[in-house]
Amino acid sequence: MAEGEKKKSLLYKLKPVTDRLPAVTKPEGHVHFRTKMSWVILILVLYFAMTNVVIYGLDAEQRIDLFAQYRAILAGAQFSLMHLGIGPIVTGSIIMQLFTGAKIIKLDLKNAEDKAIYQSTQKLLVLVMIVVEAAPQVYGFMEPSSKFIDISDSLWPGSGLSLARTFIVLQLIVGSYLVFLMDEVVSKWGIGSGISLFIAAGVSQQIFTGSLNWHPASPSAAMSLSNPPAGTIPKTIYIFHHMSAPELSSNGYEQIFLAQPNPMVALIGTIIIFLFVAYTESSRIELPLAHGGARGARGRYPIKLIYASNIPVILMAALLANVSMFSMLFASHPSFVNMPLLGDNWMVGYYAEGNTVPAGGLAYYLSTVNGVGDWLLPLLSPEYHNSYIGGIGDFKSRMQIGIHVIVYFSVMVIGSILFAKFWIETTNMGPEAVASQIESSGMQVPGFRRDPRVLKRVLERYIPVVTIISGAVVGALAAGADLIGTVGNASGTGVLLAVGIMIQLYDAIGREQMMEMHPVLRGFFGGE
């Protein structure tokens, strides 16, 4: 026993701490379909409620959203309890996957005890990441209001500013940990994943408002042709109603199809992404199966083209969001600018004053490309190029735009492939785990012996290859969707994720209903 314990991971020493963290208990038996749907709806309502609870004590004039361009993907709402969104959860998952994949953390995820330690350590890491992402934002980019500082100073004289900032950080920590617990509720008591549900809900809201919002683009000014409705469809109707035919030919169609906010090309791009993702989600390889004990009983095991789901893109987008956040901290935060090598280094990234989108450096080439107005129009039109670059219309600037597109696309594809491979191994979707699952259900591949090792060799012909293709496809789809652009600033990646998540949720609901009608199928689908 002592010899066996020596081989255990050092993470077991964290068990006294991780066992005391608040958690959602797993149901002991089968949870009925109606109960699962009730939990999903309840958590969704709670999510939207939290997005509308503004952080108390913030100065409305001195706040910058470091995650502005990744807001849809991180399923958060700026300056609310959901400000950090799913960022800390996904970042914690990234770190654990990378450490496990690199064998730095030596855990056998097929072992129930090791897997429990992996999940509990990840929970602790999420708490650490909440603090890591919350504190730097508050100490520099989310300043407390003078009134709130005065209130804090009356409670603790001489420490008003520090106390006010601490209270704002605590609000972010509480909100983010509630998100983590809500994700656990959906995963254990509901259907699918809470993280995925929040992303789909946030993106759907942005697409809806981006398409149908009738309020003027600038709320402080009256509605006019220079300040049309913000939504694509109301904007189009308004321009057609108030412009004559010559005016439409002059610049009306350009304003409808290309001009911000929410041009028609973005709505068309959103529809194209929706249809393309729906098609790729339905593409699969079906492995024929036969029941070993009942002649004539046959079935198929589907290996989908998007085998690793959309998780690799979520992880990759969260990683790039953290790169963007820390590059801005290194470029402008008082506590980071003097850091050796990284602090105030233009090669890491530099920013125009008050802007959260990098203007150059490594952070620029890794930042999201937001639609054709961010790359195609500046490349094709001198007018757009000069306004985009700021009047410097030389070849080098155009080349930088081209390199940005190529680097971003390549990083998304390669990164998604790597995360797809890590995800398959850490979620028991590899050949060996799937072979055991099929074997335990009494099924086998016709023409082969009923032996998990034989079945594993058959699956090894397909799953590793499909995993790589899956990661490349979702990465390319996400990057390509970003290049096309979408309505509501949802980002192409956000729309890709939302469509894929809704299709997978529909499939999951179908499986749950099938298991409810035929309980014998629960074992095959991994149910209780």
My answer on whether omega of the bond before 261 falls inside 30° of 0, hence cis, is yes
4: pLDDT confidence band, cut at 50, 70 and 90?
very low
306: pLDDT confidence band, cut at 50, 70 and 90?
confident
C-alpha–C-alpha distance, residues 16 and 156, integer Å: 35
Is pLDDT of 523 > 60? no
With H, G, I as helix, E, B as strand and everything else as coil, classify residue 216. Answer: strand
User: Residue 112 is part of which domain span?
Assistant: 1-14+35-190
With H, G, I as helix, E, B as strand and everything else as coil, classify residue 500. Answer: helix
Mean pLDDT of 237-245: 92
C-alpha–C-alpha distance, residues 110 and 178, integer Å: 29
Question: Looking at per-residue confidence, does 297 or 509 come out higher?
Answer: 509
Residue 61, H or E segment = strand 58-63
Mean pLDDT of 388-408: 72
392: pLDDT confidence band, cut at 50, 70 and 90?
very low
Mean pLDDT, the chain, as a whole number?
Answer: 84
Residue 264 in any domain: the answer is no
Which single residue is written with the structure tokens 């499939």? 507
Q: What percent of the chain has pLDDT over 90?
A: 27
Q: In degrees to the nearest 10, what's the CA dihedral of 157, 162, 167, 171?
A: 170
Predicted pLDDT at 467:
93
Residue 291 · residue 442 · CB < 8 Å: yes
Predicted pLDDT at 259:
82
Residue 70 in any domain: the answer is yes
pLDDT digits (tens, 9 = 90+) for 102-154: 777 888 777 778 888 888 898 899 999 999 888 888 887 888 998 999 888 88
Predicted pLDDT at 393:
44
Q: Phi, psi (5° rounding) for residue 136? A: -65, -30
Positive/negative CA dihedral, 294, 298, 299, 300 = positive
Predicted pLDDT at 302:
82
Residue 122 · residue 92 · CB < 8 Å: yes
Predicted pLDDT at 178:
93
Q: Which of 5-14, 36-45, 361-370 has the lowest mean pLDDT?
A: 5-14
Contacts (Cβ under 8 Å, ≥6 apart) of 350? 331, 358, 359, 360, 361
pLDDT digits (tens, 9 = 90+) for 486-513: 888 888 888 888 888 888 888 888 888 7
For residue 47, what is the domain's CATH number?
Answer: 1.10.3370.10
Mean pLDDT of 69-83: 85
Predicted pLDDT at 500:
85
Residue 237 in any domain: the answer is no
With H, G, I as helix, E, B as strand and everything else as coil, classify residue 436. Answer: helix
Q: Which of 59-63, 242-246, 502-506 has the lowest mean pLDDT?
A: 59-63
Q: Phi, psi (5° rounding) for residue 288? A: -65, 140
Nearest to 117 by CA among 259, 267, 9, 229: 9
Residue 132 in any domain: the answer is yes
Residue 436 in any domain: the answer is no
Distances (CA, A) of 226 to 107, 153, 221: 60, 46, 10
Predicted pLDDT at 495:
87
Q: What percent of the chain has pLDDT over 70?
A: 91
Q: Which of 31-35, 263-267, 488-492 has the lowest mean pLDDT?
A: 488-492
Q: Mind giving me the DSSP string for 246-288?
A: HHIIIIIHHHHHTSSSS-HHHHHHHHHHHHHHHHHHH-EEEEE
Neighbours of 47 (CB within 10 A): 21
Mean pLDDT of 417-438: 84
Q: How many domains does the chain have?
A: 1
Predicted pLDDT at 110:
72
C-alpha–C-alpha distance, residues 7 and 317, integer Å: 35
Residue 171 in any domain: the answer is yes
71: pLDDT confidence band, cut at 50, 70 and 90?
confident
C-alpha–C-alpha distance, residues 373 and 484, integer Å: 9
pLDDT digits (tens, 9 = 90+) for 159-180: 888 899 999 999 999 999 999 9
Predicted pLDDT at 1:
40
C-alpha–C-alpha distance, residues 300 and 290, integer Å: 8
Contacts (Cβ under 8 Å, ≥6 apart) of 298? 288, 289, 290, 291, 446
Mean pLDDT of 232-246: 93
Predicted pLDDT at 3:
44
Tally the C-alpha atoms within 13 A of residue 317's C-alpha that lie toward its C-beta: 35
Predicted pLDDT at 235:
94
Instruction: Let me know how many helices (H) and strands (E) the chain has, helices first.
Output: 22, 5
Predicted pLDDT at 340:
85
Beta-bridge partners for 142: 63
Is pLDDT of 39 > 80? yes
pLDDT digits (tens, 9 = 90+) for 310-369: 889 888 988 898 888 889 888 887 778 888 888 888 899 888 777 788 888 899 999 988
Predicted pLDDT at 472:
94
Residue 154 in any domain: the answer is yes
Instruction: Fill in the amino acid letter for 96.
Output: M
Residue 312 in any domain: the answer is no
Is pLDDT of 447 > 90? no
Mean pLDDT of 265-290: 85
Predicted pLDDT at 527:
54
* pTM of the predicted model as reported, rounded to 2 decimal places: 0.80
